[in-house]
Amino acid sequence: MMDEFEAIRPYADAEVPTVMARLFADREFLDILAHFRFPRLADSMGWLIKPVISRRLRKQFASIHTVDALQHKIEAYIDRTIERATDGVTFSGLEHLQKGRAYLFLANHRDIVMDPAFVNYAVYQAGIRTPRIAIGDNLLQRPFVSDLMRLNKSFIVRRSITGRREKLAAYQVLSAYINHSIRNDGESVWIAQAEGRAKDGDDRTDSAILKMLHMSRKDEAFAEALEALRPVPVSISYEYDPCDQAKARELYIRATTGTYSKAPGEDDASIALGITGYKGRVHIAFGSPMESVPDDAKQMAIAVDRQILGSYRLFPVHYLAYRLWDEQDPEIKVPSAAELFSREEIERAEAEWSKRLAACPSVQQPYLIQQYATPVRNQYRLLAGLEP
């Protein structure tokens, strides 16, 4: 691996045993596991529980010496998480992908950890190599989190830099690393279509991200450089978002005060809730690899959005929310949930939706409704031949 990528790249196979040994001795990591496994005893009996967890982990992972072997081992845990927190995961479009080819997965972004985890899960099940994952350094405040993510093929996007020159240099390295991964190493890459989650349900590609991908390949035309990365738009749809209340609260505070500052540990809480919280059904739609890319970043962003918004799986709750939305679009005709789904499905959705609305303070409800209604508007504008 080239030295210029040392600070951001995922860990290599040779580093796996050392990093795992460091993890299994990390007090913060063991503390979180103790609280997760034994919530009632962790505080009073932590001194006894943590060494036991550490020993057990060392034993369970003693034979793991490569990243692939680690992912294979983790797959059982992912299966269990999916069983507990979803009503099933479905995939479409995997037939567009060829084994042994590297792609740039450009995905909508709703959940910090589960978005790339579900994409990983889908390609792993299909016998395709899992991608390297772009993750913001704002989420890696603690060393053990950074270790965990980099063991699992994550590379670091340095979002916390403020100086313009430093930012440009960091993006240059990031651009070079993504190009190197796909073109030289033959490894796919997952990156979100925009910085941060789409908290209002409006999945839009930021053309600045597409320009960043071109930064290290200025000797090539934009279209040529991007086509070489084989971009695949990916649309991830959750029937229910475990973090929807927190997102509604943030949107309300932003709208009423003009700013929002995260409390300490807020990202950690979002990550935990995103992993363990109830999601209903989940669908991951892989679009067609883009073989001809427009020669302009804004036009390419529109082309990516058409695939992401068009293949987003709408569930009954989305139609229920659209019916309540103050910002319904007069240019489109949206059918009611009753025209598209069975009575039983709608009743289930109505029960869950009314629970979520009841849990949301009335001033924040419009922002909860917006999250679920926006994908309906976007998709039906596309179907009507309008700009989404």
Residues in contact with 355: Cβ distance below 8 Å, sequence separation at least 6, in sequence order: none
**Residue 41 placed within a domain:** no
Residues 343 and 246 in one domain: no
**Residue 146 placed within a domain:** yes
End of a domain among 312, 339, 370? Answer: 312
- The pTM score is 0.94
DSSP state of 221: -
Residues 338 and 200 in one domain: no
The per-residue pLDDT for 2 is 53
Query: In angstroms, rounded to a whole number, what is the distance separating the alpha carbons of residues 255 and 269?
Result: 23
Residues 201 and 335 in one domain: no
Residues 244 and 296 in one domain: yes
**Residue 359 placed within a domain:** yes
The per-residue pLDDT for 177 is 98
End of a domain among 257, 287, 312? Answer: 312
Residues 285 and 381 in one domain: no
**Residue 6 placed within a domain:** no
End of a domain among 312, 339, 357? Answer: 312
**Residue 116 placed within a domain:** yes
**Residue 332 placed within a domain:** yes
Residues 257 and 323 in one domain: no
Query: In angstroms, rounded to a whole number, what is the distance separating the alpha carbons of residues 121 and 86?
Result: 14
**Residue 305 placed within a domain:** yes
Give, rounded to a whole angstrom, the gap between the first and last alpha carbons of the chain: 41
Query: In angstroms, rounded to a whole number, what is the distance separating the alpha carbons of residues 209 and 163?
Result: 18
Phi, psi of 282, deg, nearest 5: -130, 135
Residues 233 and 184 in one domain: yes
Could you give the C-alpha distances from 275 to 21, 68, 116, 122, 309, in angstroms and in order?
Answer: 25, 22, 12, 16, 24
The per-residue pLDDT for 362 is 98
Closest by CA position to 17, among listed 161, 202, 151: 151
The DSSP code sequence of 286-326 is E----SS--SSHHHHHHHHHHHHHHT----HHHHHHHHH-T
Query: In angstroms, rounded to a whole number, what is the distance separating the alpha carbons of residues 122 and 116?
Result: 10
Phi, psi of 106, deg, nearest 5: -100, 110
Residues 328 and 246 in one domain: no
Q: Do the Cβ atoms of 86 and 185 come closer than 8 Å?
A: no
Residues 197 and 145 in one domain: yes
Domain span at 330: 313-387
Please, which residues bridge with residue 238 across strands?
282
Query: In angstroms, rounded to a whole number, what is the distance separating the alpha carbons of residues 86 and 278?
Result: 6
**Residue 47 placed within a domain:** no
Give the domain CATH number at 306.
Answer: 3.40.1130
Averaged pLDDT in 10-residue chunks for the chain of 388 residues: 82 96 93 83 87 94 95 88 93 96 98 93 94 91 87 92 93 97 98 95 97 97 98 98 98 97 86 92 98 96 98 98 97 97 98 98 98 98 94
Q: Do the Cβ atoms of 359 and 380 come closer than 8 Å?
A: no
Residues 323 and 306 in one domain: no
Domain count across the chain: 2
Residues 328 and 221 in one domain: no
Query: In angstroms, rounded to a whole number, what is the distance separating the alpha carbons of residues 73 and 144?
Result: 19
Phi, psi of 234, deg, nearest 5: -125, 130
Single-letter residue type at 126? A
Please name the helix (run of DSSP H) or strand (run of DSSP E) that holds residue 192, with its range, or none: strand 189-192
Query: In angstroms, rounded to a whole number, what is the distance separating the alpha carbons of residues 131 and 133?
Result: 6
Residues 347 and 298 in one domain: no
Query: In angstroms, rounded to a whole number, what is the distance separating the alpha carbons of residues 194 and 201?
Result: 13
